[in-house]
Structure 1
Amino acid sequence: MCLIVVAHRAHPDYALVLAANRDEYYRRPTAAAAFWSDAPQVLAGRDLQGGGTWLGVTSQGRWAALTNVRGSRSVSAAPSRGLLVSGYLRGDEAPRNYLERIAAQAHRYAGFNLLAGDSRTLACFSNDDGGLQVLAPGCYGLSNHHLDTPWPKLERAKNRVKKLLARPDFDPGQLWKVLADRHLPPAEALPETGLPGYMERALGAIFVHLPDYGTRCSTVLAITYDGHVSLIERRFGKNGHIEGESPFRFMVHN
């Protein structure tokens, strides 16, 4: 159960501020964030099973991120949803144009929410509700349902991010505490998605830790209006402890 909070043109210094946790089975092979040898403009982690990624940015300042929709329809022999993110990052289409093209073939995939952005635009598409939105400046959140579905973990994360953004001393590094939050909401506040109660509650934390599944990495991505990009990825093991960190900083170029 992943989580993304994104502030789009909602801070005087940053065109983009994004904080994200990727939750996945520990056994699924994954490569750490890096510039890809087969697409040198792409900076992202890599799903070594499906070949795509869950979140990435390019040297031109284009970025994309994805969450799965929990409880959505299954699709036989569906392609990896992570290829939707890498497909955007490898190309040069405007966010809305890319998502419109994806919408025409979205039935081939299991449920997903896809965010795509560039220096000025943020767009979101879900094949679970069929909606494509070009988003106004503001702070938005995605977990494993539709955009801004008020699940407790998402509301908690968004509220904490908004408070940080309002501080005069805001720095993207302050977002790590939000992503590390292991608070478990009360059972009566949780959504009912068909999972056993103990698992529903464990997945209700911002940072998830179960024996075979949990938060595999946290990412903070920030892009200033004048094109400074910072992406930092922290990776976690089965014990829930940090196993590595990869920082990247560069200027956007065309």
Structure 2
Amino acid sequence: MHTGLDMEEGKEGGTWLGISTRGKLGALTNYLQPQQDPEARGRGELVAHFLTTDMDSLSYLKKVSTEGHLYNGFNLIAADLSTTKGDLVCYYGNRGRPEPIVLTPGTYGLSNALLETPWRKLCFGKKLFLEVVEQSHVLPKDTLVNQLLDVLNNEEAQLPDPAIEDQGQEYVQPILSKYAAVCVRCPNYGTRTNTIILVDADGHVTFTERSMLNKDPSCWETNTYEFMLQS
């Protein structure tokens, strides 16, 4: 099982993205809201629990949806990847529909609003992503990973964006010019880890994670892990 780890005090050990050798993949984003409930459950447990459960992705999200009110806003992708049974990819957001949905094959964008909410930075990021994917069949794998990392690290603010301002209200105003980029870089808030997960038709997984060292935006470490799905 490969995941990033949350280091925030009181929430250590949770994660926002991970994949297991059994083909379970979980991904979480926070939903931008002006006020956070400090007593709410830690959202990082949602991915960690899915990666270790025997429940399939849709059943797990149905269970989570019954407890969605106990958390601050979040979006959760849960997937069961299998070279023999096919893939099942599902989504639930606790600020949207009451029931999770099964995603049909396609390209989706998820930021800090509900799935496919057309924030300008989301639309811009999807465009950059698709430009890379369209040539992926002719790119060496290392080059593909590096180009996808470049997408994740794009700092061009996509302004104006009334949708972000309306959802984030006064909370987001001080950092709006940074928050409106695919990669957020603020003194005490922003992107500190990039993760690329590639899964080929044979079930070969390449998990690449680029992490900031010592909270220094100029110092990064990249690690890659490879394994076969056991499903």
TM-score (norm 1): 0.78
- Verify: 1:111 aligned to 2:73, yes or no: yes
Question: 2:120, 2:159 within 8 Å by CA — same for their partners in 1?
Answer: no
Q: Which moved more, 1:208-217 or 1:82-91?
A: 208-217
TM-superposition CA deviations, 1:142-170 (whole Å, max 9, x none):
11100011111111111111122222425
Q: How does 1:91-110 map to 2 (within 5 A)?
A: 91-110=53-72
SS at match of 2:75: strand
* Aligned twin of 1:191: 164
Change in 2 beyond 3 A, CA 1:188/1:87: closer
Partner deviation per Cα, 1:64-93 (whole Å, 9 max, x = no partner): 010011117644521110100000001121
For residues 73 and 196 of structure 1, what CA distance do their matches in structure 2 show? 11
Q: Is the aligned partner of 1:220 residue 2:196?
A: yes
The answer to whether the aligner puts 1:89 opposite 2:51 as a matched pair is yes
Amino acid at match of 2:177: R
The reply to whether residue 57 of structure 1 matches residue 19 of structure 2 is yes
* Map of 1:132 onto structure 2: 100
**Pairs aligned (count):** 213
- Picking from 221, 241, 246, the partner of 2:218 is 241
1:70 and 2:32 correspond: yes
1:150–1:190: structure 2 CA closer, same or farther, 3 Å change rule?
A: same
Question: CA RMSD for the aligned pairs?
Answer: 1.9
Return the offset for 1:196: 5.1
Give the residue type in structure 2 aligned to 1:148: E
For residue 124 of structure 1, report the CA deviation from its aligned partner.
0.3
Q: Give 1 or 2: higher strand fraction.
A: 1
Query: Which of 18, 43, 48 pairs up with 2:2?
Result: 43
Q: Which moved more, 1:216-225 or 1:233-242?
A: 233-242
Tell me how far 1:233 sits from its aligned partner: 0.4
Rounded to whole Å, the distance in 1 between the matches of 2:118 and 2:29 is 15
What is the alpha-carbon distance in structure 2 between the residues aligned to residue 223 and residue 110 of structure 1? 31
**Partner Cα separation in structure 2 for residue 196 and residue 250 of structure 1:** 40
How far 1:251 moved relative to its partner?
A: 0.8
In structure 2, do the counterparts of structure 1 residues 239 and 165 end up closer, same or farther at CA, with 3 Å as the change threshold? same
Post-superposition Cα deviations, 1:78-114, rounded to whole Å, max 9, x if no partner, equal 1110100000001121110100011111111111100
Consecutive unaligned residues in structure 2, runs of 5 or more: 82-86
Kept in 2: contact 1:111–1:127 (CA 8 A): yes
Match of 1:151 among 110, 119, 123: 119
Matched residue, 2:41: 79
Secondary structure in 1 matching 2:191: strand
CA distance in structure 2 between the partners assigned to 1:188 and 1:138 by the alignment: 25
| Residue number in structure 2 paired with 1:161 | 129
Q: Percent of counterpart pairs with the same letter?
A: 32
Number of the residue aligned with 1:32: none
Alignment match, 1:211: 187
Counterpart contact for 1:68–1:112, Cα < 8 Å: yes
Assess, with a 3 A threshold, how the Cα gap between structure 1 residues 72 and 137 changes in structure 2: closer, same or farther.
Answer: farther
Determine the C-alpha separation between the residues in 1 that align with 2:179 and 2:172. Answer: 11
Counterpart-to-counterpart distance in 2, 1:134 and 1:92: 18
